[in-house]
Every structure is written in structure tokens, then in C-alpha cells.
Structure 1
Amino acid sequence: MTSISPFHLAIPVHNLADCRLFYRDVLGCEEGRSSDHWVDFNFFGHQLVIHYKPKKEESELHTNPVDGKDVPVPHFGVVLPWNDFQTFADHLKSKNIQFVIEPYIRFEGQVGEQATMFFYDPAGNALEFKAFKDLSQLFAK
């Protein structure tokens, strides 16, 4: 397969109202259909559905080391255009997002050079937003 198409992702949230506000008002995602138990969003051209799921006992957070940082696992997100990354990072800072990994350039001067940042939604789902200086290196080795 050579074309990239929109994906569909459904994630659990124990606080539907808080997450609805977060994805809509903080990240700026357009809200689509909804019910008492789920809400779907246009997540940067992809379909994201937040589904209510009761909160279970706290589980241990897991990370993997990447470029000297502790990357949360699991996580999801999108690749933004290079020129949009800093604008979006500044927007998130203005909304007082607490970053797990502050926006920075990873693998600078190497194959796959990218800007990246990590933070959690109100339900504890880890998100990564990144941008490649050269998008053709998205899958480069």
C-alpha cells in the first residue's frame, strides 16, 4: 500500500465530559456524532472516538527510552506539517498543557529528524504530536 488514508481510533475514557472539552476546546478537534457513552471527533483528518469506560485501579505507567527521554507506552497522535508544529506547541502552552516531554527536536541532523512532544489527556491517554523536517523520512531507516 502506498497511500495514507484516514484512520479510526477508539480510546477508553472514564471522564467523558472532561475529555470531550479537552479534545474539542483544547486540541481544537471538531465534534461529530455522540451519545451518552461516546463522542467522535475529527482528529486532524482522522476519526477519534472517545468511549466511556469505568476507571479501574491505577496501573503502573510504562515508558521506553528514546533519545534520552522516557516515552509513554502506549501512546497515539499525528504527524503535523513541520511549519505547523511550533504554532500548535505554542497553542498548547497557552492552554497550560503539562507536557510529559516538552516540545523539542529529536535526532537532530540525523535520518528521521523530527520535532516531538508528549502529554496526557484528562483520562491518562498519552498523546504524541510530531513533525518531520523532511516528511520523506517518515519511515526511513
Structure 2
Amino acid sequence: MPLSPFHLAIPVDDVELCRTFYRDVLGCKEGRSSDHWVDFNFFGHQLVIHYKPKDSISEHTNPVDGKDVPVPHFGVILEWEQFETFSKVLKTKGIQFIIEPYVRFKNEVGEQYTMFFKDPSGNALEFKAFKNTDQIFAK
């Protein structure tokens, strides 16, 4: 069964700054918008940034592979080559990675690239790519 596009709405405290980030840094095509929200084509999925004033919620992480993975986070699964190209583009654009691109589970079931970084409002994003897409849900 093919995966279906998802819809995700996230809070941002600066719509214009995040609009520029998702459009110009990540390369997402902009759709409809208002003063308080913007739709994006987020790698074939609908992402909507909605204005929300900044709050003081502290950041939480969980240890994975000796790295601090931010919780919550969201992202997409890319094709292997697409991940390699995209991660290089992000590096040239000066993205500050929380977790630099690396391969997890090398030569094991579920071998995958992964990387984490934040948008200008502090939303954590994870991008990954599986060596074998048939293993996305493998145990």
C-alpha cells in the first residue's frame, strides 16, 4: 500500500522568517497564505505554518545512538540519493545541525541516513532515507 500525503500544522513565532526558511532554504513551494499562516508543499505533503506567540516550554530530548534527539520533531523520508544531495545543499546554506547527517544501523536491517535541525521558530525537523525502503517498518 503506497504511503499517503499527510497534513501537518506547526506553530511559528515569526511567519515571515519561517516562510523564507521553508521556501528558500528547504526549497518548499509556497501555496495559499494569510497574515497568520502559510501552506507549503513539504516534499509532497502539506505543511502549514501558523503564527503562535513564543512560549517558554523547555526542550526535551531522548538519547538515541549516544545523541540527543529532540522531542517532539517531524520530517519526511527521502530517497537515498535525494538525502545525500539535500544534506549537501543544507550544509552550503549554513544549516546548524542538531545531529549532523550520518548513517544509522550500517549493514543492518533498517540502515538509514538521518539528520536533525531546527527551523527559525525552534521546531525540530528530522530527515531520513532508508537504504532499502522495504525496511521502513521492519523489526
Q: TM-score, normalised by structure 1?
A: 0.96
3-state secondary structure, aligned to 2:11 = strand
CA distance in 2, matches of 1:40, 1:71: 27
Say whether 1:62 aligns with 2:53.
Answer: no
The residue number in structure 2 matching 1:52 is 51
The residue number in structure 2 matching 1:36 is 35
The residue number in structure 1 matching 2:16 is 17
Deviation at 1:89, TM superposition (A): 0.4
For 1:72, give the aligned amino acid: P
Percent of residue pairs bearing the same amino acid type: 73
Spell out, residue by residue over 1:61-98, the C-alpha distance to the aligned partner (whole angstroms, 9 max, x if none): 11111122111100000000011111100000011000
The residue number in structure 2 matching 1:79 is 77
For 2:85, give the aligned amino acid: T
Deviation at 1:52, TM superposition (A): 0.3
CA distance in 2, matches of 1:107, 1:47: 30
Q: TM-score, normalised by structure 2?
A: 0.98
The residue number in structure 2 matching 1:132 is 130
CA distance in 2, matches of 1:68, 1:110: 18
Root mean square deviation of aligned Cα: 0.7
CA distance in 1, matches of 2:64, 2:134: 21
3-state secondary structure, aligned to 1:72 = strand
Deviation at 1:3, TM superposition (A): 2.9
5+ long unaligned stretches in structure 1: none
Total equivalences in the alignment? 139
5+ long unaligned stretches in structure 2: none
CA distance in 2, matches of 1:84, 1:36: 33
